[in-house]
Amino acid sequence: MKKTNQIVAVIQARTGSTRLPNKTLKKICGKPMILHVLERLSNSKLIDKIVVATSTNPNDDELYSLVKNNDYEVFRGSEMDCLDRHYQVGKKFHADLICKITSDDPLIDPVLTDKIIGFFLQNLDKYDYVSNVHPPTFPDGLDVEIMQMSALENAWKNTSDSNDREHTTTFIWSNPSKFRIGNYKNPKNKNLFLTDRWTVDYLEDFKFVNAVYEELYNEQKIFLSDDIFDLLKRKPEIKLINEKYVSKNKIH
């Protein structure tokens, strides 16, 4: 696929989670979770630049240093205004398209990410914003949002609502009259995976992800979502680890 747009992936990350403090720094197979997210996303063939966007809060100093010392780009901005954080990253790195990823998702699939980005690139004349979460047809934790920088700038300029500022894209996807919204649907049974929770908000989520990594992690090869599905078929007990939180989906 011929690509001329500068695609910048922004990984939103901070250590101040109230439900599971310092989760981005918690180790899985001996490596902090944020580095697994970066490692996996680095296998994307369509993303030009990956930037961790954290806050200026001193509590995030360790996160900043960790990312920087592992030779990844990191940007610091407002703790609660994540919309501004994304916009400033886009400006700094001359983005045409912004791909929003969260540090909660250490099972992010780079192949699926590229499929969603590719779908957007093929439909730039139709959409300002594309995701696989409105409505969701994949497990929570494989979430990808990609948008035109012009759409992000529009949101940045035109909303002062604290919820919109905190969650970055709500102003865009909740205003289909203002923005052209696209959704990448799971080509498989769309209802099959809605009870799968692969994101990390609670300790049980972390234990689930850790169990998956212990089974599948190999430093030489990235495991993908199909590998996880196969594992959970073989060992359904792993899926039970965070089952009680299945109904708690995050706001994008």
Residue 209 covered by a domain: no
Task: Write out the two tokens for 252.
Answer: 């994008």
Residue 183 covered by a domain: yes
What distance in Å separates the CA atoms of residue 209 and residue 211, rounded to the nearest whole number? 5
What distance in Å separates the CA atoms of residue 48 and residue 95, rounded to the nearest whole number? 9
Question: Is residue 102 helix, strand or coil?
Answer: strand
What distance in Å separates the CA atoms of residue 152 and residue 205, rounded to the nearest whole number? 30
What distance in Å separates the CA atoms of residue 247 and residue 100, rounded to the nearest whole number? 23
Task: Write out the two tokens for 205.
Answer: 């989520």
pTM, 2 dp? 0.94
239 membership: H or E segment, kind and range:
helix 236-239
What domain range is 34 assigned to?
7-190
What pLDDT is stored for residue 18 in this prediction? 82
Residue found under tokens 């910048």 = 8
Which domain CATH number covers 22? Answer: 3.90.550.10
Domain count, the chain: 1
Residue 222 covered by a domain: no
What distance in Å separates the CA atoms of residue 11 and residue 27, rounded to the nearest whole number? 18
What pLDDT is stored for residue 47 in this prediction? 98
Q: How confident is the model over 102-138, as pLDDT tens digits? A: 999 999 999 999 999 999 999 999 999 999 999 888 9
84 close to 156: Cβ distance less than 8 angstroms: yes
What pLDDT is stored for residue 53 in this prediction? 98
Residues of the chain with pLDDT under 50: none
> 18, exposed or middle or buried, with CB in 10 Å at 0-12, 13-18, 19+?
exposed
Residue 199 covered by a domain: no
113 close to 99: Cβ distance less than 8 angstroms: yes
What pLDDT is stored for residue 194 in this prediction? 63
Residue 251 covered by a domain: no
Which residues touch 170 (CB under 8 Å, ≥6 apart)? Answer: 163, 164, 251, 252
Residue 109 covered by a domain: yes
What pLDDT is stored for residue 251 in this prediction? 59
Which residues touch 13 (CB under 8 Å, ≥6 apart)? Answer: 24, 34, 52, 53, 54, 63, 102, 103
What distance in Å separates the CA atoms of residue 76 and residue 62, rounded to the nearest whole number? 12
| DSSP per residue, 118-161 | HHHHHTTTT-SEEESBTTB-S-BT---EEEEHHHHHHHHHH---
52 membership: H or E segment, kind and range:
strand 49-55
Residue 29 covered by a domain: yes
Residue 202 covered by a domain: no
**CA-based radius of gyration for the chain:** 17
